[in-house]
Amino acid sequence: MNKKDFLTELKNALTGLPQDDVEERLSFYGEMIDDRVEEGKSEEEAVAEIGSVDDVAAQIVADIPLTRLVKEKITPKRSLRAWEIVLIAVGFPLWFPLLAAAGVVALALYLVVWVLIVALWAVEVSLWAGALGGIVLAVICAAQGQSLPLMALLGAGLFCAGLSVFLFCGCKEASKGILHLTGKAAARLKSRFLRKECVK
């Protein structure tokens, strides 16, 4: 493959990426090929040393931050044609609820994760409160000389305390695990997005 073909193919592989980035990369690779040719290599050899278009494109895409990619995706490259505007307007009752639903589902999933963590810790806190209440009431019973409620309350209080200590480690690990999982899911989402871009 000669220089011109390489750069054209690379440019095609990078369609959809920010225009400035693409131009700068192309001139960078062009210079790299020219410098090799100047050294006495043939254009084909020089291009072969750079690597395959797919590899180069994949690396470039991976280098550009996701925020830039998304921004580029949602900015239209040309003004919309009349029929497209009509279609968007007519289709509004259809696409808007779908988009809103997708957004709400995403939000709900996010909330579920946090609610799960909050619920775990709420159980933990209520156990502590139970333990504290049981012991305080037991002390009051002891002061009044009621031995039967004293035993029951003390027992319940100590049971709660024991359970809460036991559950504390579980809560901590579970929270850490859930947060770790969400982080991994986000990373997966980004790599999927990038892969889709590369294939184009």
Partner 1 sequence: MDTQLKRGLLDVCVLAAIRGEDSYGYKIIKDMKPYLELSESTLYTILKRLETAEMLTVRTAEHDGRLRKYYHITEAGLRRIEEFKTEWKEVVSIYQFVIKGDPHE
55-60, long-range: CB < 8 A, 24+ apart: 56/10, 56/13, 56/29, 57/10, 57/13, 57/14, 57/198, 58/198, 60/14, 60/17, 60/21, 60/25
Burial state string for 114-138 with b = 16 or more CB within 10 A and e = fewer than 16? eeebeebeeebeebbebbeebbebb
* Of residues 28 and 83, the one with the C-beta less far from partner 1: 28
Shortest approach of partner 1 to residue 47 CB, angstroms? 11
Provide the minimum distance between the beta carbon of 58 and partner 1 in the complex, in angstroms, as a whole number.
9
Cβ proximity to partner 1, 65 vs 93, nearer residue: 65
Minimum separation from the CB atom of position 196 to partner 1 (A): 20
The CA angle 61-79-190, to the nearest 5 degrees, is: 25
CB of 51 to partner 1, least distance (A): 7
Nearer to partner 1 by Cβ, of 61 and 153: the residue is 61
Task: State which residue, 32 or 142, has the beta carbon closest to partner 1.
Answer: 32
Contact set with partner 1 (CB under 8 A): 25, 27-29, 31-32, 34-36, 38, 50-51, 56, 59-60, 63
